[in-house]
Amino acid sequence: MNLALPVLVPVLPALGAVATLASGKRAPGLTRPLAILPVAASAVLALVVALQLGTGQSLDAATRLAPTGGPELSLALHLDGFSSLISVLVGLVATCVQVYSTAYLKDDPRYPSYAALVSLFTAAMFLVVYSGDLVVLLVGWEVMGICSYFLIGHHWETADARSASLKAFLVTKLGDVPFLIGIFLLGADAGTFRIEGVLKAATEGQLSHPTLTALLLLAGVAGKSAQFPLHTWLPDAMAGPTPVSALIHAATMVAAGIYLVARLLPVFLTSGAALVVLSVMAAVTMVGSALCALAQDDLKRVLAYSTVGQLGYMAGALAAGDRQAAVFHLVSHGAFKALLFLAAGVIIHAAHTNSLSAMARMPELRKKVPDAYWTMGIALIALIGLPPFSGFFSKEAVLTAAEHAATGEALTNGLGPASAVPSAAGWIVLVAAGLTALLTAAYAARLWLLAFHSAPVALTAATDAPYSAEIDEADPAHAEPPAMRWPLWVLAIPTMGFGLFGLRSDWLPALLDGGSLRPALETAVIATGLAVAGALIGYGAWRSVTARAAAAAERVPEQAGPPAAETLAPALPKPLADPGRLLLGPLFGPALHGFHVDRLYSALFVRPTLAAAQLVRFLDREVVETYVRGTGTGANLLGWAVRRSQTGNAQTYLSVLLGAVVVLTVLVAVGS
């Protein structure tokens, strides 16, 4: 097979990024084609590469990049079913996002740099996916990190965006440091940075500290994929433009961590402890993020927490030792979550607000954005996991994997013995996944009902919407341009149909590890039941609060404040228009603030750091500076004294001269 094609896949968007940047100011007309075409070409190429490769094949090519004296760095290419599948996903989502952005950021003065960064990001993601060398992979990984930083901070005029971008960067870097050390450990143990060499060493048991290495790698994965201890950056990252959220924080970058674990799963399989840690991480992430999502008011933050939760599913599947379930869910989630974000962008564009409660007060929102209404519904059903949409199948795969792991028959698909996965990890994932399925259905129902089906009350409310992070939107009075509509339908196709690929074992599973992805009957029934129950609970809660709010509104008719508007009428006894408030009860407050993890981190890490910085500043300004200033003052004083001695009186000079001569003479005479 021709090597030029897979090489071109990451190279084209990178060149496109350079060209976009170079032409941004001089030829603004070229920016859009330069942004879209290379990415689209890469997507097509990725598809071609995937088709050429076929199923069950893998391709490895390497050229030595730099001799280091130790393990060598090589520019290695590794293609197999996983990488080609994910590269197709990345290409598809990136193309959709670029097209969508042309309309969404039409009037943005920084559109060229934005488009260039998205292209560069896509290139980096392709590099991560295709790379067969851990160090080269790390390069792509970090380029994605910095692109993410810039893109989150796209609206750097707002303090939110600035702090969110900084936070995202710092938190992911916090994970990347142990990740780097883990890579070095792997390279040192295996004698090479090539992934195949590392995997070979892992299966042969050559790793000296498998648990330590796996945990170090997990730190990086947790940072990049927003798993529990380091997840806090992702909800805040929604300060970036919505297409960026769709591309980076839903479909691709956060998936990089999952993808990496999938690639290195044999390493993790050598350490049961690391798998248990991963499962606990995934479980806490799933449940916590679902609870948070139930309480959020910001549409994009709901989606962000849901992303965190779905990533937790994938991590859970990996903890259960089944990487093809994880990647299956990754791809289907990538499609429907990108769709969700893009639809959310349309809605935000139309409603001119991020706030669900503000949307709830808008009449006829669903009539204004029919495409978003329908596609979002599809994507939400996929998210909940109802058949026959893709989410159902992929989630079933995860649950099946967890169940098998719990009973000690983990579906490792030949990567390691089934006994390598502790059954505790399976149980943890299984229970958490079931609970999360319920919660997911509840918050999805809440989102859907609040955004589109609320009783339109208090028409004035729409005018003073609480806030909108987007400052660059087009006039909401106009309908969305086609460039913002048709990517939704393009993404809706895989959202609906992708799951079917997993049914036949010679379709998707053949591309991956070859195990079955067919849903098992018991888990399917349980999970579907849970999802339906969750949706019904959400609906019931919504009905209940709506009725109560209507009653409250009748009781206080003279106070025109809309019953749903907790932001507008803080003085009123707040009507429980939010089903999340009813469902969560006392947990609502903590969940709204992400269970105060941020505050905890602030107390634990940020404040000591700031205090240390203050101390250093004090030391620098008061102590070091005093010495510096003292040097200056001393030199001044010395100069003043010396200057005083320059009287111009020759007799004084001569006196000093002769006196010194005498002293010298005496010294010499006495000393000799």
Partner 1 sequence: MSLLAAAGPLEPAARSFLSPTGVEIVFLLVGVAVLGAALVTVTTRQLVHAALWLVVALGGLAVEFLLLTAEFIAWVQVLIYLGSVVVLVLFGLMLTKAPIGRSPDADSGNRWAALAVGLATAGTLVTLVVDAFRTSWIDLGAGAGSAKATGEYLFRHWVLPFEALSVLLLAALVGAIVLSRRDDEGKKPRPRPGKLRAGKPVGTSSGKES
Partner 2 sequence: MHLAYPAVLAALLFAIGVYGVLARRNTVLVLMSVELMLNAVNLNLVAFDVWLRDALHGGQALTLFTITLAAAEIGLGLAIVLLVFRTRRTADIDRLTALGDPAEDGPAEDDETSDATSAEAVA
Q: Closest by alpha carbon to 98, among 256, 244, 255, 250?
A: 244
To partner 1, the closest distance from the beta carbon of 617 in angstroms equals 51
- Specify the residue, 571 or 668, whose C-beta has the smaller distance to partner 1: 668
Residue 367 interacts with which of partner 1, partner 2, none, CB < 5 to 8 Å by class: none
Coil, strand or helix at 209: coil
Which neighbouring-strand residues pair with 79? Answer: 59
Q: Distance between CA atoms of 412 and 418, rounded to whole angstroms?
A: 6
Contact residues: partner 2, CB under 8 A: 617, 621, 625, 629, 632-633, 636-637, 639-640, 643-644, 646-651, 654-655, 658
Contact pick of 79, 658, 671, 672 for partner 1 (by CB under 8 A): 658
d(CA 390, CA 309): 17
* Minimum CB distance to partner 2 smaller for 64 or for 621: 621
Helix/strand/coil percent split, the chain, to 5: 75, 5, 20
- What is the C-alpha to C-alpha distance for residues 416 and 405, in angstroms, rounded to an integer? 13
Q: How far is the CB of 649 from partner 1 (least distance, A)?
A: 7
Query: Is there a cis peptide before residue 388, judged by omega within 30 degrees of 0?
Result: yes
Work out whether 669 is an interface residue with partner 1 (CB under 8 A): yes
Minimum distance, C-beta of residue 160 to partner 2, in the bound complex (Å): 24
Residue 525 near partner 1 by CB under 8 A:
no
Residue 665's binding partner among partner 1, partner 2, none (Cβ under 5 to 8 angstroms by kind) is partner 1
User: To which residue do tokens 């009860």 refer?
Assistant: 585
Distance CA 126, CA 123 (A): 5
CB of 613 to partner 1, least distance (A): 56
Where does this chain touch partner 1 (CB under 8 A) — which range of 381-389, 402-410, 460-468, 657-665?
Answer: 657-665
Compute CA distances 541 → 286, 312, 671, whole Å. 22, 26, 104
For partner 1, the closer of residues 463 and 651 by Cβ is 651
Q: At what angle do helices 81-104 and 4-23 cross, to 10 degrees?
A: 20
Closest separation between CB of residue 638 and partner 1, Å? Answer: 22
x/- string (CB under 8 A) for partner 1, residues 634-653? Answer: ---------------x-xx-
Coil, helix or strand at residue 62? strand
- Choose among partner 2, partner 1, none what residue 669 binds, the Cβ cut-off being 5 to 8 Å by kind: partner 1
Nearer to partner 1, 407 or 652 (CB): 652
Residue closer to partner 2, measured from CB, 529 or 659: 659
Contacts with partner 1 in 223-252 (CB under 8 A)? none
Q: Which stretch binds partner 1 (CB under 8 A): 56-64, 123-131, 442-450, 663-671?
A: 663-671
Angle CA 273–276–278, to nearest 5 = 110
H-run or E-run covering 79: strand 73-79
Angle of helix 4-23 relative to helix 111-130, nearest 10 degrees?
160
637: partner contacted, choices partner 1, partner 2, none (Cβ within 5-8 A by kind): partner 2
The two tokens of residue 207 are 């790793």
Tell me the DSSP string of 579-595.
HHHHHHGGGHHHHHTGG
Residue 551 within binding range of partner 1, rule CB under 8 A: no
- Residue 211 Cβ vs partner 2, minimum distance, rounded to whole Å: 46
| CB of residue 620 to partner 1, shortest distance in Å | 47
> Which two tokens mark 539?
């609906």
Q: Structure tokens of 571?
A: 């003085």
Closer residue to partner 2 (CB): 26 or 644? 644
CA-CA distance, 93 to 247, in Å (whole number)? 6
Among 406, 655, 671, 672, binds partner 1 (CB under 8 A): 655
Range in contact with partner 1 (rule: CB under 8 A) among 523-531, 558-566, 612-620, 656-664: 656-664
Using CB under 8 A, pick the residue from 551, 603, 624, 662 that binds partner 1: 662
Residue 644 partner contact from partner 2, partner 1, none using kind-dependent CB cut-offs of 5 to 8 Å: partner 2
Shortest distance in whole angstroms from residue 649 CB to partner 2: 5
Kindly calculate the radius of gyration of the chain based on its CA atoms and give it in whole angstroms: 30
Residue 652 Cβ vs partner 1, minimum distance, rounded to whole Å: 6
- What single-letter amino acid sits at 554? E
Size of the site for partner 1 (CB under 8 A): 11
Please name the residue that has the structure tokens 């102590």. Answer: 623
β-bridge partners, 355: 298
Q: Rounded to an integer, what distance in angstroms lies between the CA atom of residue 272 and that of residue 319?
A: 9
Helix, coil or strand: residue 622: helix
Minimum distance from residue 651 beta carbon to partner 2 (Å): 5
Minimal distance, residue 157 CB to partner 2, in Å: 22
What is the DSSP code (8-state) at residue 158?
Answer: S
Q: For the purposes of burial, counting CB atoms within 10 Å of the CB of 367, is it exposed (0-12), middle (13-18) or buried (19 or more)? A: exposed
Please report how close the Cβ of residue 619 comes to partner 2 at its closest, in angstroms.
13
The reply to whether 659 sits near partner 1 by the rule CB under 8 A is yes
- Shortest CB 633 distance to partner 2, Å: 6
Q: What are phi and psi of 462, to 5 degrees?
A: -65, -25
Q: Pick between residue 367 and residue 643 the one whose CB is nearest to partner 2.
A: 643
Q: Which stretch binds partner 1 (CB under 8 A): 79-87, 234-242, 631-639, 658-666?
A: 658-666
- Of the pair 388, 632, the CB lying nearest partner 2 is at 632
Residue 98's identity, in one-letter code, is: Q
Distance between the two ends of the chain, CA-based, in angstroms? 93
Q: Which is nearer to partner 2, 623 or 654 (CB)?
A: 654
Q: Are 174 and 201 in contact (CB under 8 A)?
A: no
Name the residues that contact partner 1, by CB under 8 A: 649, 651-652, 655, 658-659, 662-663, 665-666, 669
